[in-house]
Structure 1
Amino acid sequence: MTEAMSQEFRGYLKKIGSGVHTSKNLSRQESAAATRLMLQQQATPAQIGAYLIAHRIKRATVDEMAGILDAFELLGPQVPEIDNPQPVAVFSVPYDGRSRTAPLLPLIALLLATEGNPVLMHGGTCMPTKYGVPLVDLWKGLGIDWTALTLEQAHQVLSETGLSMVYLPQHFSLAHQLVDYRDQIGKRPTLATAELLWCPYAGNRHQFSGFVHPPTERLLQDVFALRGNVYPYTTIKGLEGSCDLPCDRTNIIGVYNPDNDPPFERLFLSARDHDLGGAEVPLESTETLLAQMHQVIAGQKSPLLPAVLWSGGFYLWHLKLCPDLRSGIEKVRSLLQEGKVASTLQHLCQKISACS
């Protein structure tokens, strides 16, 4: 760390942290520079903590969020494009996991890969402030360990199996070293919102971002537009900010496709219209959840099955793997009962093992 760098960062901190009447927003370029200084530890720990909490209180602007993503793109990993006619489904979900309802993404990813649509996830370890169950732990419970793969191996596995994960501690250690600050300040920083927008894939994709509050979705849309996004994306008011579709209420979904006129449309879908409505499955424990996941993969009766049929059917339809939602739901049922999802998981286990 150099004195000049910490003085530069001090200027950015002073600008956003001066209070209601005198603080100012950063430009996109200033936000990118400040984020680079944090990622590269060229700001002091006191400066980083103060900046994160000040930004949390002020709330990031569209320009500031775009700058954060510019820094992520410059310093972070990018999985090279694979040879597949289908766009890679990139899931951007909260890194601090789920604590109340059962997460479904590993099962959704297996379903999509079984039908030939590749999936790339990204995430880390158990993380503040929710300390919910992280995706990587669920995958370990299914026999898949993403944590030791190099980025090149992650790319290879994606190309050969249609499934992979960018694991923050292994592939983006610069960002992972800022995780402790989340615990120390006791709040999700602006970086947590950036993770809902970040896409560590260099090729043709369809990005999915979960959200809880409507202003977050508006921010996502505006940042995508400012950064010149040319790929489809979908925003989902999902369970605990995830991309899992609720079964107990109407789903609110935003769909952006640059080839459509208008490019953005709103979907309102109800599981009750397909006899799949009901209470959400609670997350009782990781062990119970994994047992339920194994039941689903084996084509057995499980409390998770209606939720998997609902979310899985939506994604098969939405990614044009089925002609309509109802046929997507039935396709999920047949893939599970015929053991095809189990075969996909077995194939993935073999490929991961070959990398070790």
Structure 2
Amino acid sequence: MSNAFREILRKIGSGPHTGENMTRLEAAEATRMMLLQEATPAQIGAFMIAHRIKRPTGEELAGMLDACDQLGPKLQPIIDSQRPVIVLGTPYDGRSRTAPVTPLTALILATAGQPVVMHGGDRMPTKEGLPLVEIWQSLGVDWSRLSLAQTQQVFETTKIGFIYLPSHFPLAASLVPYRDQIGKRPPFATMELMWCPYAGVAHVIAGFVHPPTEGMFQGASALRGKPQYFTTVKGLEGSCDLPRDRTPIIGTWQPGSDLERIILHPRDYGFEGKEVPLDEKALVPEMQLVLQGKPGEFTQAAIWNGGFYLWHSGVATDLSSGLAEAENLLKSGQVAQKLQEISKAVASLSTFEKYLSGAGDLTSGG
């Protein structure tokens, strides 16, 4: 048992009258001890539920991110990138009600030359929703088969990368079962939304559900002085996907600056509509229709999101031109070609890995 961890646990778990917040250093140390399994399972579970009840602070999130920066993976900067790399922070426990458009948004951005990094794992408690990695697999891109070095190769050649927790950050993946055991999302689920597994200049776009989360994001980024650019989106199921049935709530800032609001009314641009419900069996066929440029509600959602992020990342000069460019990239087949490029790049590396493994077996046997 870690006595140091016990003292931190006592500090946050003493109730509303005598309990205290952790300092940034204490939060970093607690996170480090949990990731390295220096704390016992009982201590880790107790911390997660106590911290959830207390609620995290921006300073505590900053410390947790410090520990992840120290122990976690990072994709290295793309030399020829002229813009900050966009990091899409979406809930790891996936989607259950609305169809995710995030992979299509990433493809549109990469097709236009804007690099994108995503991160996440498999189906995760407590929601057990559809995760991004499964959607990519159904589209023919299996990020789970790549090492970090191979992911870097794909990132450099295609402008899209995906940090897959079980392979690239197993220390963090080892804490996932606790979410099921405590039956609640721990504050790690909040920290993950603003985690940046990229070593260069980044623009983190984090989804959120509850308004206080946005303030915690801002407090943590101000203390850490990074990422260099930050955007929050009250998106569909806490994701970065902009809604079409209501006005998106978007905030943007740089560390040390005040939050600025971006107010967009979908109806003003002809994109107001109902959200597409999630049907896991129909999702990929629906995405294929979007990639073919076929009209429909899901295509409208892809253009609405792709157009906004093309503008917000600086690829397009204004929202109207961003929307037009997103529509053109889809209808021209360029986004579909980008998907094929990524699929071939991932498949070739996976095949090469299989070849090396087979050669190693033959060598050891002969």
What TM-score does the superposition give when structure 1 sets the normalisation length?
A: 0.96
Distance 1:109 1:327 in 2: 18
1:67, distance to aligned residue in structure 2 (A): 0.9
Specify the code of the residue in structure 2 equivalent to 1:72.
C
Q: How does 1:1-356 map to 2 (within 5 A)?
A: 3=1, 6-83=2-79, 84-229=81-226, 231-257=228-254, 264-283=259-278, 285-356=279-350
Task: Determine if contact 1:129/1:183 at 8 Å carries over to the other structure.
Answer: yes
Distance 1:330 1:159 in 2: 27
Instruction: Return structure 1 stretches of 4+ with deviation > 3 angstroms.
Output: none
Corresponding residue SS for 1:196: helix
Corresponding residue SS for 2:118: strand
Corresponding residue SS for 2:260: strand
Distance 1:196 1:240 in 2: 13
Distance 1:246 1:230 in 2: 25
Distance change (3 Å), C-alpha of 1:37 and 1:70:
same
Specify the code of the residue in structure 2 equivalent to 1:256.
W
Distance 2:14 2:331 in 1: 60
Corresponding residue SS for 1:255: strand
1:223, distance to aligned residue in structure 2 (A): 0.5
1:222, distance to aligned residue in structure 2 (A): 0.8
Deviations 1:315-356 (A, max 9, x none): 111111112111111111111111101110111111111211
1:294, distance to aligned residue in structure 2 (A): 0.8
Task: Determine if contact 2:222/2:255 at 8 Å carries over to the other structure.
Answer: no
Specify the code of the residue in structure 2 equivalent to 1:93.
T
Corresponding residue SS for 1:69: helix
1:33, distance to aligned residue in structure 2 (A): 0.8
Task: Determine if contact 1:182/1:189 at 8 Å carries over to the other structure.
Answer: yes
1:258, distance to aligned residue in structure 2 (A): 6.3
Distance 1:230 1:199 in 2: 7
- Alignment coverage as a number of residue pairs: 349
Specify the code of the residue in structure 2 equivalent to 1:355.
L
Specify the code of the residue in structure 2 equivalent to 1:81.
P
Corresponding residue SS for 1:188: coil
1:301, distance to aligned residue in structure 2 (A): 3.0
Name structure 1 gaps, 5 residues minimum. Answer: none
Distance 2:227 2:288 in 1: 38
Corresponding residue SS for 1:107: helix
Distance 1:26 1:206 in 2: 27
1:263, distance to aligned residue in structure 2 (A): 5.4
What TM-score does the superposition give when structure 2 sets the normalisation length?
A: 0.93
Distance 1:258 1:23 in 2: 29
1:302, distance to aligned residue in structure 2 (A): 3.5
Task: Determine if contact 2:290/2:299 at 8 Å carries over to the other structure.
Answer: yes
Task: Determine if contact 1:292/1:303 at 8 Å carries over to the other structure.
Answer: no
Task: Determine if contact 1:99/1:132 at 8 Å carries over to the other structure.
Answer: yes
Deviations 1:7-27 (A, max 9, x none): 211111111111121211111
Give the number of the structure whose residues are more often helix, by fraction: 2
Task: Determine if contact 1:292/1:302 at 8 Å carries over to the other structure.
Answer: no
Distance 1:346 1:241 in 2: 29
